[in-house]
Amino acid sequence: MIQRNRRDGERACDILGAIAKIERWRTLHDSNDDMFRSAVMRELGVIGEAANALSDEFKSQHPEIPWRSVVDLRNVLTHHYWDTVWSLIEQILDDELEQLRLSVESHQRLVDSANVREPTEAPVIHTDGRCHQWMPRARTECDLPLGHAGECRTRAIGSNK
């Protein structure tokens, strides 16, 4: 696997994306559903992993966030999964997730820097009925139909469309 250094802006996008998924899922699913709980815990793990990789400079600019606790939660969810108490996860979602989102969003300059696309000669107007939303982590555009439900993604390997 090729490792590359990812900037704080890209890590911030990972955090914001995971938070957005959790916030959206909470409006759509019953919190007693096992699949919902598993998905939320997975995204909390993504948040913790991304937070662990943020630079000390980024973290010091946001002292209101308990970064060590964010990373520790990821470690508990990954290594002590059997010990997870859902009521504590719900408390984190209710009391702390929004503050994390607001703090990371406030650092918009870094978030924006992760979304910079390579310059093109002229804006492209798409008329093929595809979404074409830029996905910075994949460094490509969404290939699903315009107005699709769910997350943007590229077409499956081996797909004819």
pLDDT digit string (tens) for 60-79?
A: 989 999 999 999 999 999 99
Annotation says 80 is catalytic? no
In the chain, % of residues over pLDDT 90:
45
Range of the domain at 141: 124-161
Annotation says 79 is catalytic? yes
The answer on 131 and 110 residing in a single domain is no
Q: At what angle do helices 34-53 and 67-79 cross, to 10 degrees?
A: 130
1 within some domain: no
Q: What is the pTM of this model?
A: 0.66
d(CA 74, CA 47): 8
**Domains in the chain, number:** 2
Predicted confidence (pLDDT) at residue 46 exceeds the cutoff of 90: yes
Catalytic residue among 29, 37, 62, 74: 74
By CB atoms closer than 10 A (0-12, 13-18, 19+), residue 27 is: exposed
pLDDT tens digits, one per residue of 114-157: 554 444 444 455 667 777 676 666 667 777 777 676 777 775 44
CA dist list (Å): 83 to 33, 53, 69, 72, 77 = 18, 25, 16, 14, 8
The answer on 106 and 65 residing in a single domain is yes
119 within some domain: no
pLDDT tens digits, one per residue of 11-32: 998 999 999 999 999 988 888 8
DSSP 3-state assignment of 134?
A: strand
The answer on 26 and 93 residing in a single domain is yes
90 within some domain: yes
The answer on 110 and 54 residing in a single domain is yes
Residues 39-61 have a mean pLDDT of 94
The answer on 97 and 156 residing in a single domain is no
The answer on 91 and 48 residing in a single domain is yes
Q: Which residue in this structure is represented by tokens 């948040």?
A: 47
78 within some domain: yes
What are φ and ψ of residue 51, in 5° steps? -60, -40
What are φ and ψ of residue 115, in 5° steps? -100, 10
For the record, the structure tokens of 58 come out as 């980024």
The answer on 71 and 12 residing in a single domain is yes
Catalytic residue among 79, 80, 117, 139: 79
128 within some domain: yes
